[in-house]
Amino acid sequence: MTDYKIPLAVEKAVVTRIYAQADEAQWPHLQDADRTRLYRDWTEDPEIGGRLLAFVGQQANIRPWLKDCPMKEYERARRGEGKYAKYVRRPAATLEQMVAKTLGPGWEVIPGTTRQKPMRARIREAETEDEEQHFVAGTAANLKHLVWPAVLDRSTGETWPWIICIVDPFRAPVSPEQRQEHRRVAQFLGVRVVYFNEM
């Protein structure tokens, strides 16, 4: 994608606006058709597409920029990660908060181990010499992406324990059928699945 020279003030106004609307629309739970409609609305909105037009060259470039830049980073930004995090009005739980909530306040993320795509880190029980563990978090819809790092680890003989944290939103809870599927996958891979209830 072309690296457009969008002024910081314009980027801030646009991203703040689309993030607020994405939050209101419950973006993580939208079907593709609903996301397409939002992209169309944003492209035609004078406060979004209208502000970007002068910097992206033509209207056809607005949606790709929205999709490949701010919305590609939306989930990370909600969790306090990346350059767009400062534009989120209602942040979601951070990885550290998910670890503490699912495993207890005595657990910590080891500094310098956080990775993205999927969001993960090495963790340990504070003030112990216990073995480190891997912790990866995301939605049930992204289960295949959450287990892939564990699969790669297992394929090389790595034996550190893996904890797969499924974000279980209050507005769209994980179904009993999905939980059963998660249990089968966890048993097959030799990992642990936990659920983070998010309001």
Tens-place pLDDT, residues 114-172: 998 899 999 999 877 678 899 999 989 889 999 999 999 989 988 889 999 999 988 78
Parallel/antiparallel/unpaired status of strands 162-169 and 119-125: unpaired
The 10s digit of each residue's pLDDT in 19-30 is 999 999 989 888
Bin 122: left if φ > 0, else alpha if -120 < ψ < 50, else beta.
beta
Q: How many residues does the chain have?
A: 199
pTM of the complete model: 0.81
